[in-house]
Structure 1
């Protein structure tokens, strides 16, 4: 048989095996005569039957348009296994809708990938740069922000800013012309990482919950000009003339903090120094990459993300796109180029940004400035790599959203009665799933988000959240598992910030939304001031139709925040029957004054029948009602049926075993900070690796370097021990070799990460002055347990607080208190609490709390109270 004919027969047989026999019953339902078939080896001149599949999604779409009017059953577009490469989105509009009560179903095989990527091939070693390889950029690839090697995201080349920067009106004056001598300084991007006021950590950005980015426009000599409008949008935000420091946006500062100094710089050839880093030289049209251990570019699948959108559902209010389902598909390798352009990424919160030439002066500022656009807080939302506007009865099930460069999926304005079920979201640059908007247009309604697994995100825009829900109605977010995320897990609502100046929250159409039975853990692993479930603004018109947060299990927060965070203007929210523990600040917070009248009440909120550690007493604080909550000493205190019902339902737990991408070493830890532990010793803290490479992180290693770059100290710690203490102690440092910087690596079963970015330099000093006593001690009592609450000492001596020692008068061993909340509690003056169990009912107990620093244990504060009767 001729080779060409034999190849054609093999391709046909492969297609038939993947698609099934025409007219036969398949695992996804009965095939009908109107079904269409697509294969990467198909032919767009074919008729789309199983023996003669078409090749492109557009051809299948156009054939489907001719058939939908006559539907007497669902029309299934069968996509054979393989990769369908996109340089532009599959555009769907009202013509592509189902009809007569039936759907158009885009059905994959479980190994069907809708890809915006281009293969990078032809790798060669770079002469004079050991270990560095390069390849020609694929034809048509002019820019990208993402590169993947065998399904593992590579890191854009990054490093410390090599010069000292002094901020100017248009950028910076540098201490030398080092940046100007780079090959392409205008490719480079400054990243401004924010965070809590903790130890010796760089605190830049536009609030603890943000990580803005702006590109360099030009570097000439020592003059660095930053790209506009990103620079002005990040530094000129309008402030109230009579309220010093309060921006009219009421979110974060008016300019980049710390004199606008960047935390690090990204995307330059000169920064290629760690395995796993890459750079695209757009001028030379070449890709550069430093392979990780074990990678062979001769055989690796290297994908550069090219398309910015994979599917674009363009419904309108008068002509919605309806009744379409996507099943068994993977959406991957799409990018988002706006942050690389002069617009940059001037973040407000949760991936919303200020955009446009005069965005800083007018965007979303509505009634507060002349020419302000309305409604208040209607800033620019991060786009979705898959998106629908005015989509009705759109369904996603058994899909994967992975290796993406913006938000994964956006069910935007006008979305109605749509579903996302049994789907994985991971390795996404920003928000995982977005629902609705905040721009005053038609709210999303009736969207059901159930039994999905969202984890290992955001990878690039670290202020992103797993699920972002705007102004919506009758939406349900239930039975999802969200874990290992950099900031908040679920964020709902918008526009409550005017309460900061005594104004009521901006009216919005939200009501009857429910967040129930989700399992959320290991969240806020990088940024701060968020929560497991975060809500902001009006949630309804009464307690009856306000938001319901019920039956969720939320535990193990890292950054400063709350389990359930009711932020500015959050009104008519019910928080009931949840299990909340291991939070860094509070289980449920916070109280806000209701400014809709002059009565001085609080925003109506009900906190009822939760299992928690906070221990707040029952009461009605001017509308903030707390009732029936139970102090838990451990998970065994909670009825097993409540724990068992949270997260994925049994039929969907297989998602937890589904691997996406190759297993690899973890991502590097972040935000390394240091503090003196005495002469020749440093305490080190950092944010753990929330992207674990598909295998649990087992340990971390911190390494100290002197000013010449010579390693002078090292200390390893297990992941379990670091979770408990949140710090590592490096001793034996040279007494005269400071200042020292520290980097940290993470390890798992597949290897060790690249080193983190280095800490700020610090010279350890001798310590002798003890800390003062903690303040405001309280015992919040149950019958067999009590929550011990206190605030940090006002004076710490000459070292940072690294722990507390709690003693109980019943003679038990002292309780040694450590953890991230200990480290952030002191500089932020946030209250702390711990639960003491095993108490006897109706018994008086005396508890003492003392702070611990490198100098020793300070004086204790004492509180006495009697437990409740059984």
Structure 2
């Protein structure tokens, strides 16, 4: 596990004592971050390793004569005793099923270390439950793997293609979306769309027949990468929080026909006839934006051009792979994910499955094939999709359209590779969910009193953990999710979240560490969108849910319009039983969003005692009108006693109450017990050292954008990789290419410097040389990533017109600190904003404001803010802020205010 991810709050407290603060106007100083990592590495080296202690604790159950023993070397004709173990989990289940009536204590299924390959899922129902208050415990060793993979062997060099290897598809593998080499996820072959596309009713007309001449054009899939329109970068898709995918159905000449119903579900979403541009779903646009332009294309033999890429030719039953540096296919364990389910708990409302525990297991190498079908992946939000013929016209639209299915916003949830419905007292502890192709674990409809504790979720294609549903059936209740580490996800469906909670009751999500995720970390609730048209949020049964004491950082590293903790819709029936968000430490957001995001219809939420910093334009937001009556009030919300940078004054804005919050100038301002309490508790910090794959090069960066930096230079920004391969990313390198593909310049930047500035400047470009494209690689101790997909072409030009002055400057004053807030200029000049220059009337040096928020707030005109510390009480200060572009520093906006006595 890379040391840069080991940021527990015990270490943050220690760092505070040494380093003081956040360095004034910005995220924690580089020195503070370095000290934190160094202290924790030393701490981990000086402490005994806890993983063995955890496994020993889990294996101290009193044995029962009914226990069943399983080994990969066992025999399913054996009796399942310790001396004669069976071989497969399904056979063990059958033996358990015959013994539960005799239970007088817990019954344990002892799973020896090794890999258990599951051609079919382990299906459990009420017959497989514990009895008389006792549990059935499926006990692994920590090295016990439930695998849905098929090993790929017989590799040989492919004639005529330098560096390319091939192997026969393993028996039983008909399709897959994932391939892993020594546990490292490979990238399905991808590249830029090789033609210009013009959208039609059924697909596209291409500028040439290139795609039609591919070997298997109907295997190819267009991907529509969304996100805030930043600089010279694309904003495609169905909202900046989504990344839809649709397959090609056929390509003949220049006509490309897209697969149905994915195409219509992504382009015909019904709109209100009297509200132009407003879809009846009220979530995102009615059709793919940017003229339906695909950001890139995936899954074609012709796209195999980078190390780490693979392609399955289903017709020829051949797997192709371009090895990364250092990979030896003669020795490597190459796994193709084949099964779609590993464990499937199928209870019913009348006959639930109950009292089952899974401990010390690894769940790996499962896939999800629906996106490969004509259904595709027509995303709405958080991995929910529109499915079915004419789904665009009816699915989840309920009372708003004739024939709409109810309840409102009940779209198709991403399935879990491990799942339970109507399960009671189901436990997952000390497990690993990794190398998975859908959601990791789904505790769905009717789940009650479940526990997920001390587990690792990583390298998962979509959502990490899903709780409950929004389909109007029995809500989940009493689910406890504590002391888990979720990181480096989602890897494929980038609009997924680490923890997705639908409509639930008495759910607790506490003491988890969530870091390096592509979108929001925790998403709570659903169905609040009707407030966009003046209707109340959809009624739902949620109440008494708590999100507390979690450590969340480096989130929203790919998409936008989310948060560290994001909440939608009604959370209860009053402030007493509404959602509680308390004691969390949330910092270092990359995309456009908020630390705690109270979105449409979020009602009765309390946000109290959190530490929130490093967000783009709000720590807690936003205000929404409560349409349940005609009084014009806001959704009742309490924002209390937080430590933040936002600095909003106390007040009661028609039910939105803000009180007792503190501007933080550094971590030293925050009570040490809050910092120490957030994140993994001491007994579970060994999870930060759990390894799930061989170390490798990082995943490629994404969303490359460029802006002129003068007649011979470009500014480059991009989204950093959030899957670093194990060793931390140490630098990024940008390379510029002319129209012929010739490299004309390159420039590197350290990872820490890039985190501070969010850009690099690549100079020495040919004058009047025409448009250039830029690509970026990430580097760690194992080498360079594959290059990111290239930016759109842009020619550097002289910049002579500065941006206008920022607008709406405000000072939110406390006694010794203030928050300066402003909105980007209305007139940008002839170059993009790369930062701001702030002056304070006390004579201190001007302060350079850089970072991702300076970039992402610009095209959306979102307000941004910075903390100014070191002020004197009861003193008047004048502060100016001016935008900086390649044309220089523009005119300043000025504001004056007096600090509190």
Which band: TM-score by shorter chain?
over 0.9
CA RMSD of aligned residues (A): 0.8
Query: Which residues in structure 2 correspond to 1:162-181 (within 5 Å)?
Result: 162-181=194-213
Post-superposition Cα deviations, 1:62-120, rounded to whole Å, max 9, x if no partner, equal 00011111110000000000000011100000000000000000000110000000000
Structure 1 position 867 matched with structure 2 position 899: yes
The worse-fitting range, judged by mean Cα deviation, of 360-369 and 690-699 is 690-699
2:749 match: 717
Q: Is the 8 A contact 1:458 1:465 kept in 2?
A: yes
Q: 1:819 aligns with which of 851, 865, 872?
A: 851
The worse-fitting range, judged by mean Cα deviation, of 73-82 and 816-825 is 816-825
- Separation in 1, partners of 2:769, 2:722: 33
Query: Which residues in structure 2 correspond to 1:75-86 (within 5 Å)?
Result: 75-86=107-118
The worse-fitting range, judged by mean Cα deviation, of 734-743 and 187-196 is 734-743
Shift in Å at residue 833 of structure 1? 0.4
- Separation in 1, partners of 2:66, 2:172: 36
Post-superposition Cα deviations, 1:155-204, rounded to whole Å, max 9, x if no partner, equal 00000000000000000000010000000000000000011021111111
Q: Is the 8 A contact 2:801 2:830 kept in 1?
A: yes
Structure 1 position 364 matched with structure 2 position 396: yes
- Separation in 2, partners of 1:245, 1:501: 12
Q: 2:455 aligns with which of 423, 426, 435?
A: 423
Structure 1 position 186 matched with structure 2 position 214: no
2:543 match: 511
1:744 match: 776
- Separation in 2, partners of 1:602, 1:667: 43
1:245 match: 277
Structure 1 position 414 matched with structure 2 position 442: no
Q: 1:530 aligns with which of 554, 559, 562?
A: 562
Post-superposition Cα deviations, 1:769-825, rounded to whole Å, max 9, x if no partner, equal 111111111110111100001111111111111110001111111110011111112
Q: Is the 8 A contact 2:58 2:359 kept in 1?
A: no
Structure 1 position 139 matched with structure 2 position 171: yes
Structure 1 position 675 matched with structure 2 position 737: no
2:132 match: 100
Q: Is the 8 A contact 1:570 1:603 kept in 2?
A: yes
1:13 match: none
Change (3 A) 1:264 1:867: same
1:126 match: 158
Q: 2:290 aligns with which of 239, 244, 258?
A: 258
Post-superposition Cα deviations, 1:46-70, rounded to whole Å, max 9, x if no partner, equal 0000000000111100000111111
- Separation in 1, partners of 2:59, 2:448: 28
Structure 1 position 590 matched with structure 2 position 622: yes
- Separation in 1, partners of 2:447, 2:59: 29
Shift in Å at residue 503 of structure 1? 0.2
- Separation in 2, partners of 1:714, 1:748: 18
- Separation in 2, partners of 1:87, 1:34: 27
Aligned-partner SS, 1:528: coil
Shift in Å at residue 26 of structure 1? 8.5
- Separation in 2, partners of 1:65, 1:308: 24
Number of residue pairs matched by the alignment = 846
- Separation in 1, partners of 2:57, 2:769: 74
Q: Is the 8 A contact 2:607 2:639 kept in 1?
A: yes
Q: Is the 8 A contact 2:551 2:679 kept in 1?
A: yes
Aligned-partner SS, 1:127: coil
Q: 1:207 aligns with which of 239, 256, 273?
A: 239
- Separation in 1, partners of 2:805, 2:77: 81
- Separation in 2, partners of 1:755, 1:763: 21
- Separation in 2, partners of 1:25, 1:849: 58
- Separation in 2, partners of 1:555, 1:648: 16
Q: 2:188 aligns with which of 144, 153, 156?
A: 156
Post-superposition Cα deviations, 1:513-550, rounded to whole Å, max 9, x if no partner, equal 00000000000000000000000000000000000000
Q: 2:829 aligns with which of 784, 797, 804?
A: 797
2:733 match: 701
Q: 1:502 aligns with which of 518, 529, 534?
A: 534
Structure 1 position 379 matched with structure 2 position 411: yes
Q: 2:265 aligns with which of 233, 245, 249?
A: 233
Aligned-partner SS, 2:588: strand
Q: 1:325 aligns with which of 337, 349, 357?
A: 357
1:16 match: none
Query: Which residues in structure 2 correspond to 1:507-656 (within 5 Å)?
Result: 507-656=539-688
Aligned-partner SS, 1:259: helix
- Separation in 2, partners of 1:32, 1:824: 60
- Separation in 1, partners of 2:830, 2:310: 43
Larger RCO of the pair (alpha carbons < 8 Å, separation 6+): 2
Q: Is the 8 A contact 2:550 2:584 kept in 1?
A: yes
Which runs of 5 or more residues in structure 1 are unaligned?
1-23
- Separation in 1, partners of 2:790, 2:119: 38
- Separation in 2, partners of 1:65, 1:25: 26
Shift in Å at residue 127 of structure 1? 0.5
1:285 match: 317
- Separation in 1, partners of 2:853, 2:745: 26
- Tell me which stretches of 4 or more aligned residues in structure 1 moved more than 6 Å: none
Structure 1 position 776 matched with structure 2 position 808: yes
Shift in Å at residue 28 of structure 1? 3.2
Post-superposition Cα deviations, 1:404-429, rounded to whole Å, max 9, x if no partner, equal 00000000000000000000000000
- Separation in 2, partners of 1:712, 1:258: 29
Query: Which residues in structure 2 correspond to 1:841-852 (within 5 Å)?
Result: 841-852=873-884
Shift in Å at residue 639 of structure 1? 1.2
1:347 match: 379
Aligned-partner SS, 1:372: coil
Shift in Å at residue 636 of structure 1? 1.5
Aligned-partner SS, 1:67: helix
Which runs of 5 or more residues in structure 2 are unaligned?
1-55
Shift in Å at residue 295 of structure 1? 0.3
Post-superposition Cα deviations, 1:719-776, rounded to whole Å, max 9, x if no partner, equal 1111111001011111132210000000111211010000000111111111111111
Aligned-partner SS, 2:882: strand
- Separation in 2, partners of 1:399, 1:251: 35
- Separation in 1, partners of 2:650, 2:330: 66
- Separation in 1, partners of 2:896, 2:431: 56
1:73 match: 105
Q: 1:435 aligns with which of 436, 458, 467?
A: 467
1:335 match: 367
Q: Is the 8 A contact 2:583 2:611 kept in 1?
A: yes
- Separation in 2, partners of 1:568, 1:770: 37
1:3 match: none
Q: Is the 8 A contact 1:707 1:737 kept in 2?
A: no
Structure 1 position 316 matched with structure 2 position 348: yes
Query: Which residues in structure 2 correspond to 1:30-41 (within 5 Å)?
Result: 30-41=62-73
Shift in Å at residue 25 of structure 1? 11
Query: Which residues in structure 2 correspond to 1:35-54 (within 5 Å)?
Result: 35-54=67-86
Structure 1 position 690 matched with structure 2 position 722: yes
Q: Is the 8 A contact 1:74 1:103 kept in 2?
A: yes
Aligned-partner SS, 1:134: strand
Q: Is the 8 A contact 1:465 1:489 kept in 2?
A: yes
Q: Is the 8 A contact 1:25 1:31 kept in 2?
A: no
2:512 match: 480
Q: Is the 8 A contact 2:59 2:139 kept in 1?
A: no
Q: 1:447 aligns with which of 479, 492, 496?
A: 479
Shift in Å at residue 268 of structure 1? 0.2
Q: Is the 8 A contact 1:57 1:90 kept in 2?
A: yes
